[in-house]
Chains A and B, each alone.
Chain A
Amino acid sequence: MNTTAVLFLGIYFSIVLGIGIWSMRIGAGKDLEGYLLGGRRVGPLVTALTLQSTSMSGYMFLGAGALGFAEGYWALWYAAGDIGGGVLNLSVIGRRMRKFSQLLTSLTSIEYLEKRYPSAAVRAIAGTLTVFLLGCYVLAQFIAGGKGLELVTGVPYWLALLIAVSIILLYTLLGGYLAVAYTDALQSVVMLIGIGWILIAALIELGGLTAANESIRSIDSTLLSVWGRGLGYEGEWGIVLGAVLIFSVGYMGWPHVVTRHLAMRRPATARQAGAYATGWNLLFVSTPYILGILAIVILPDLDDPELAIMRLAENLLPAAVTGVVMAAIMAAIMSTADSLLLQTGTVASRDLYQRFLNPGATERQMVRVSRILVLAIGVIGYYIALSEPPTVFSIVVFATSVLGSAFLPAYVCAVWWRKANTPGALGSMIAGASIAFAWEPLALVESTGWHPMLAGVFGSTIVMIVVSLATQERSPVPAEILAAMDEAARVR
């Protein structure tokens, strides 16, 4: 057991719990808007940091390093899109979605879809898809959190998982969205410090980036190319484009990420938040992939590539600093898990329970139901993660690809295309989810050379356009929605 790391993690966990208690005291759970959206008073810096840290997840510390280790500089295609994901999201839909959601009196990103595309079916399908996919995604974060804590503390997996899940549950239940947003902001800073520290240590160890690249060239020069180990992806532009798209435009289709727009203090918050998001991404996003690449030289005998960054930390940093790095890894996992948990509970309570089972529920009842559902999802997730832990990163890629494919055209067209109507949105969600869901099992990646995300987004966009245009006469967009769209677009 690394005592310093455990001590540092203890301090870190105490701070995030403190933020949860503080959020509760300032009234974050008093009413539904306070609990679900922090009373729509989140400023630009916290908006940017919660958006980014929620989007990143434990994938960046485990999966990104593994990809760099396995494929060399090809992995940077993912970072190439990811650096602009935040500003793209905020600039394209941020301001309009914030304004439009308030005009439509929507408290969740799924309720927003139903009010823009009036139909109970839109909410039922979008809500069910979201609960299932975010449920899978949160499960992956739980498993990653349990494994990370097990590695640091040396306690058995079941206990490590219990501690990780309990802490995330506690502060999410206490302070709702406000606690999640402020802990995310803290966690994004911890992530930056942790990853930066390892990068500096690795570059010092190798004598700088040029020397490191020369060492990699002597091992396998194809690792320095943009086509992967052995030029395995040479000319595979469908895969490359999918890698760039998944973490750039893809974010605009993730319900737990676009909810950040609804909670902004005012529509113009998107402007500053976009600049902060780019600044943070420039410092963070490429680093985990580059660390994986550097590990090829430093740790040539590494048996599990997913542990590349953790092993680098263990090998290059003093014990005290390893504590910071481990806290950074836990921060990345927790900042995504809390947002997913809150969103899954929110959608299950507001968009499914209240909408279809108990429309007369009061605000206080809804806050209580939302908390109970968050707790229930956490407990169920714990037991699944304990008994049959599936592969973490295959779940993450699956869930994010299907979410992005299902919802991207629906969210973008909601504020930008006046002809986007209910049949178009329904068809788009079903087509996008089905294509992304089936692409891998049907082995279409190999036969077409297309990434599931690219195929899903392409399909859902085509269906949105064709079906909306074909059904304009039968299902026109209601006049009051068009008026609200115009108002949301207006800059006086």
Chain B
Amino acid sequence: MFGLPLSTTLLVFGFPVIWIVYTIGFLYVSRDWVDSDDSQDGSA
């Protein structure tokens, strides 16, 4: 892709995909954090 060897393509585009998946996973597992804080400090 873009005239790059496969290993370089994976380095340039693969790592960002890994971090996007990590971030989505983090947002999923932390979905109850906001409610938890609200119940503790009473703020909206």
Contacts and interface: CB of A to CB of B under 8 A. Distances in A.
Contacts of A271: 26-27, 30, 33-34
Nearest to A286: B12
A172 B11 CA distance: 39
B4 A278 contact: no
Interface in A198-248: 209-211, 213-214, 217, 224-226
Given A224-B5, A282-B20, A73 B11 contact: yes
A213 B3 contact: yes
A490 B40 CA distance: 11
Interface in B1-44: 2-5, 7-8, 11-12, 15-16, 18-20, 22-23, 26-27, 30, 32-34, 36-37, 39-41, 43
A449 interface: no
Nearest to A72: B8
B8 A266 contact: no
Dominant secondary structure at the B interface: helix
Interface string A75-89: 011011101100110
Contacts of A79: 15
Contacts of A224: 3-5, 8
Dominant secondary structure at the A interface: helix
B40 A76 contact: no
A9 B10 CA distance: 39
A214 B34 CA distance: 49
A268 B44 CA distance: 13
Contacts of A209: 2-3
Contacts of B2: 209-210, 213
A79 B12 CA distance: 9
A491 B33 contact: yes
9 contacts: A84-B22, A87-B23, A87-B26, A88-B22, A91-B26, A211-B3, A224-B3, A224-B8, A278-B22
Interface of A: 73, 76-77, 79-81, 83-84, 87-88, 91, 95, 209-211, 213-214, 217, 224-226, 266-268, 270-271, 274-275, 278, 281-282, 286, 490-492
